[in-house]
Structure 1
Amino acid sequence: MSAGQLTLLDCTLRDGGYYNNWDFDLDLVERYLQSMVSSGVDIVELGFRFTFANKAKFLGPYAYTTDRFLNQIHVPEGLILGVMVNAADYLKAPEGDVAAIRNFFAPKVESKVQLVRIAAHVAEVATCGGLVSTLHELGYRVGFNIMQSNSCTDEKLAELVRAIRGFEHVEVLYFADSLGNMDDAETLRIIQTLRLEWDGPLGFHGHDNMGKALGNTMTALSNGVSWLDATVTGMGRGAGNTQMEYLLVEIEKNSHKSVNPAQVIDLACNDFEAMKKHYGWGMNVFYYLGAQHKVHPTYVQDMLAQGIFSPNDVVTLIDLLGENTGASYKSQGVANLMTARFQRAEGSWSSRQLFENRPVLIVAGGPSAHRHWTAIENYIQENKPIVISLNLLDFVPLNLLSAIAVCHPGRLVPLMNNSIGVPLITPIQSLPSTITNSLSSSTIYDYGMQVDPTRMVPQDTGCIVSDALVAPYAICAALAGGATKIELVGFDGFDGRDERFHKVNDVFAMLLKVAGNTPIHSLTLTHYDIPQRSIYSF
């Protein structure tokens, strides 16, 4: 195949699987394959071929795309099938990279797969020669994808290309806009740099974090890139990719290749649009901001999927990730970031000043607190407890609060440059200066916080907590301050099937253990294993 012949590759199932664990219905897949061949798409990359050892949870068939599974699928005549491998999976395999390839790939004559693309981070590229040569020996066409290529200088990129050229059997060299922060000028820079060392076909995989995937793809095409990736409705990790239906329309309009967009548009509207609404891929302001800060889009995807972060939380965490090597994704990256930030177990404020020998009511934002607020307010009026809200809650009158406890930087954003007349209990010395400088008009109770997953230690001026959550932070302050009892409302909690339930429930188990003789009760319904009473029993 010459460098100038246009090849369209659709990788919807492979990249889209990040949203549904690569578990697509077979009837959908067969309609998808038929629409691909009818539209003029040349290659479908059906999935990954992950190694089995490193995947300790259920993943659907398109995570592994085994030959046995592929034999169940009707593949329309004329359509080329491909799979992708992550170089790291095979380079780190206990049996060695070459043996791992042979373990997971039969000779080509026994497989429906024709093309294997190797995706490698910059640091892995030079060590991939064995993967390339073994796949070639087995009879496969080989593509090579340099991830986060625009993080490289021209010199480094040229060095990587020379290494890949030395592998001899790479048919097409791809560069990917992994962080979704490329523009036309950057796309052109990389193409020109690659061309200094590579005269074969070039490919481009665009991400849509900033809404530039299609534009960058067309820029790549007009500058000699002949292999173009896209997915139906852009389905793919994070904000997603160049949308195949739009790319086909552009290609048809400009007569680059004989294509027919109609069936893919029908598939997008009738099959994938419902999934898009459910899973939420596509450009939004958080992916745009993440691209600006060079943050891996999976961090944003994870935060949005968890449903526990406010918009301010997400914005603040993107900012922090941008300062702390957020370009490389790690599954515990956000949690580790928070753990690393909170390492000061002592503050400058004594919790005894507020809590000693007083009953305490801590208000969380669960639906039960809002639903039973009249009864809660009656309880406050009659019993005169110290009232602490966890973060700023819009249904709680400020005049009833003794203080607001906040430890997550994002939850302080609404309070910046806006004194509300209620003191803030917060580990001020552990927070970003951009936030602390904006709290100068607020009264701050500087109660320290250190995160250690194995410990829960209430102390007079700060605490050690097992997780960077505001609930244990506030409860520890009340315990250390000598509260006579601690009552909780609005701690509804997650459903027991949600893994977050177990995480928070373990936190409460540790709190109840260190509480000693100080009683802790939930006065509204809670899923957690906390002793309960009723707000209506007083």
Structure 2
Amino acid sequence: FEHALIQDYLVAMKAIGVDVVELGFRTTDQKGFKGACAYTTDSFVRTLEIPEGITFCVMINASEILVNSKYSEKILGILFPETAEISRVSLVRIACHTHEFMEALHAFKFLNSQGYRVAFNLMQVSECDSKELILLAKEAMKYPFDVLYFADSLGNMNSEKVQNVIELLRTHWNGALGIHAHDNIGLGLSNTLYALNKGVTWVDSTVSGMGRGAGNVKTELLAIEISQLRDSSCNMKPIMALIANSFKPMKEKYGWGTNPFYYLSGINSVHPTYVQEMMADSRYNEEDIIAVIEHLGREGGKKYSKNTLGEARNYYSENPLGNWSPVKLFKGKKVILIGSGPGVSIHKRAIESFIKDSKPLVMALNAQSVIDNDLIDVRIACHPVRLMTDCESLNQLSQPLITPASILPSNVLDFLSSIELLDYGMGIQNTNHIYNETHCILSNPLVISYALAVASSGKAKQLLLAGFDGYSTDDPRRLENDTIFEKHQSVASAVPIIAITPTLYHIESTSIYAL
């Protein structure tokens, strides 16, 4: 953040009655470039003009001061070389997971001796059981710090869960309580106001909800509510100018704020960073993101791990392997590809009648189940996370599965161990599509691209598309799929394609009823 922006921010906070401004972090991490607010050093803070009545706060992660899970006063001393009497920072907030809390509490003694007020911020409390929260509250009473915060890190709490956490912490902790709410399911503000009504006295927010993923409670909204509770005036002009001039452009650039993906991650108790990372990766389309969230909801995604997401991101090879040729199965045949669009359900009877009469080779995307399973000859899928999501359904089906098995992670192959896998390789490069005998090179990882490559490499006579309805003209997936069809048709060995149910794509079409 530019210095001038921070000054405008402080003026706006003063105008709406904010008591404490958390300027940023303190960290010893020196890898890569980070702005001034990642370190919030005393020398930097002294360059700022502090409006009267505002307290400055910084946050540290408990993991920063725990070495091999043990508290390190040496590191804490490096982070806070000045006493509070000299520093312009008055409050230190320590963010910690519940398993870090007991050890992190030792930091209070040093910070208190240096004159700092101290707050502890318990993360992911919605995932703690009652006994754990009661034990933590009991331990907290041994250290007279200023405020115990609980954070709705996964953004999935409602008023009932908020009340439950407050009651559990109050079994022992009689000091001040605070709430840090995330907005994944749109309840950040209402949960905050509910907590205030139940005796919580510290609340926080960010301008325009700025924050990782779905973001936080919006300061501009909370300020209005607080001013009414205080029966005081609230000058909104500076903050609204700040939003219009600075935060609105930043939000458009960085894209924080709730959406259906964050909502889904919230109700599935999946860490929002998974959604944030996938939305920033063009290799994930909407269907992929939903599949990942559903899988992590079942397998456990409360704690973010780059390795976990990496299994779904880094499996494509620029030099693909493959040991199965589709020629024997496809050569000279008319093939019908069953998609997932509503056209399949609407015209189900006609499609099934055509299959019975004409006996084409029937290939279905993923675990599609609208068409009678006995009429499907083979299934096709290529996304590991989608495969894990569909594994239960696929294991109950009888067809062989065409998939780039050689590049799938071992855990995916374990899920599919009972299925006959036909290994047609796939690689991703920013290039035109290339169809080879046992593998293809594509510009995207979408299963429709993979299916077109398989049918073409297999020298199919014709590919009939059912259930490829298409998206509206303002939906970016419309252009994406039209581009896929264009790239396919530019390949010399491309199989001719024709849609037999209604489609919005720019491809040849006919009617299933005319066949």
Structure 2 length-normalised TM: 0.69
Kept after mapping to 1: 8 A contact 2:58/2:92 = yes
Structure 2 residue 328 is matched with structure 1 residue 351: no
Distance 1:201 1:159, change over 3 A: same
The 1-side partners of 2:246 and 2:383 are apart by 49
Mapping of 1:2-151 within 5 angstroms?
24-52=1-29, 56-92=31-67, 97-106=72-81, 107-151=83-127
Whether contact under 8 Å (1:150, 1:182) holds in the other structure is yes
Q: Which residue of 2 aligns with 1:213?
A: 188
Amino acid at match of 2:126: N
Q: Is the 8 A contact 1:448 1:463 kept in 2?
A: yes
C-alpha deviation, 1:355, in angstroms: 7.6
Are 2:367 and 1:417 equivalent residues in the alignment?
Answer: no
Q: Which residue type is aligned with residue 14 of structure 2?
A: V
| 1:127-276 paired onto structure 2 within 5 Å | 127-166=103-142, 168-255=143-230, 259-276=234-251
Q: Deviations over 1:180-214 (max 9, x none)?
A: 00001111111111111111111011100000000
Corresponding letter in the other structure for 2:4: D
Residue equivalent to 1:314: 289
What is the distance in 1 between the residues matched to 2:362 and 2:325? 16
Distance 1:405 1:130 in 2: 62
1:199-236 Cα distance to aligned partner (Å, 9 max, x none): 11110111000000000000001111010111111111
Structure 2 residue runs of 5 or longer lacking an equivalent are 342-359, 411-420, 446-489, 493-515
Instruction: Tell whether 2:264 aligns with 1:279.
Output: no
CA change 1:70–1:319 in 2 (3 A) is same
**Counterpart residue number, 1:300:** 275
Measure how far apart 1:69 and its partner are.
1.8
Secondary structure of 1:124's match?
A: helix
- Counterpart of 1:497? none
Aligned positions of 1:499-518 closer than 5 A: none
AA of the residue aligned to 2:74: A
Query: Relative to 1, partners in 2 of residues 1:198 and 1:405: Cα closer, same or farther, differing over 3 Å?
Result: farther
Letter in 1 for 2:116: Y
Aligned equivalents of 1:232 and 1:428: distance in 2?
Answer: 38
Change in Cα spacing, 1:447 to 1:30, as seen in structure 2 (3 Å) is closer
Q: Which amino acid aligns with 1:142?
A: V
In the alignment, the residues of structure 2 paired with residue 444 and residue 96 of structure 1 have an alpha-carbon distance, to the nearest angstrom, of: 52
Per-residue CA distance 1:126-178 (angstroms, 9 max, x = gap)? 11132111111121110011101121122210101122221x24100000111
Alignment check: 8 A CA contact 2:213 2:272 kept: yes
Kindly indicate whether the alpha-carbon contact (under 8 Å) linking 1:403 and 1:424 is maintained by their aligned counterparts in 2: no
How far apart, CA to CA, are the structure 2 residues paired with 1:300 and 1:405? 31
Deviation, 1:289, is: 0.2
Which amino acid in the other structure matches residue 130 of structure 2?
Answer: D
Q: Distance in 2 between matches of 1:403 and 1:307?
A: 33
Counterpart of 1:45 in 2: which secondary structure?
A: strand
Q: How many residues align?
A: 410
Q: Would you say the 8 A contact 1:148–1:178 is kept in 2?
A: yes
Give the 3 Å change call, closer, same or farther, for CA 189–26 of structure 1 in structure 2: same
User: Deviation of residue 446 (structure 1)?
Assistant: 5.6
One-letter amino acid matched to 1:351: W
Deviates more, 1:439-448 or 1:39-48: 439-448
**Given the alignment of the two structures, is residue 329 of structure 1 paired with residue 286 of structure 2, yes or no?**
no
SS in 2 for 1:175: strand
Q: Judging changes above 3 Å, is the alpha-carbon distance between structure 1 residues 154 and 96 closer, same or farther for their aligned structure 2 residues?
A: closer
Residues 115, 143 of structure 1: 8 Å contact kept? yes
The aligned counterpart of 1:445 is: 402
Gap change, CA 1:203 and 1:417, over 3 Å in 2: same
Contact 1:37/1:76 (8 A) holds in 2: yes
CA offset at residue 59 of structure 1?
Answer: 1.7
Say whether the 8 Å CA contact 1:115–1:141 is kept in structure 2.
Answer: yes
Provide the secondary structure at the position in 2 that maps to 1:109: coil
Return the alpha-carbon distance in structure 1 between the equivalents of residues 72 and 5 of structure 2.
34
Contact between 1:97 and 1:130, CA under 8 Å: does it hold in 2? Answer: no
Aligned counterpart, 1:10: none
Deviation at 1:39, TM superposition (A): 1.3
What amino acid does structure 2 have at the position aligned with 1:232?
Answer: V
- Specify the SS of the correspondent of 2:280: helix
Please say if residues 425 and 447 of structure 1, whose CA atoms lie closer than 8 Å, have aligned partners that are also in contact: no
**Closer, same or farther in 2 for the Cα pair 1:322/1:84, shift >3 Å?**
same
Q: Deviations over 1:257-290 (max 9, x none)?
A: 5543443233223321121122111111000000
| Separation in structure 2 between the aligned mates of residue 272 and residue 70 of structure 1, nearest angstrom | 22
CA RMSD of aligned residues (A): 4.3
CA contact (8 A) 1:39 1:262 kept: no
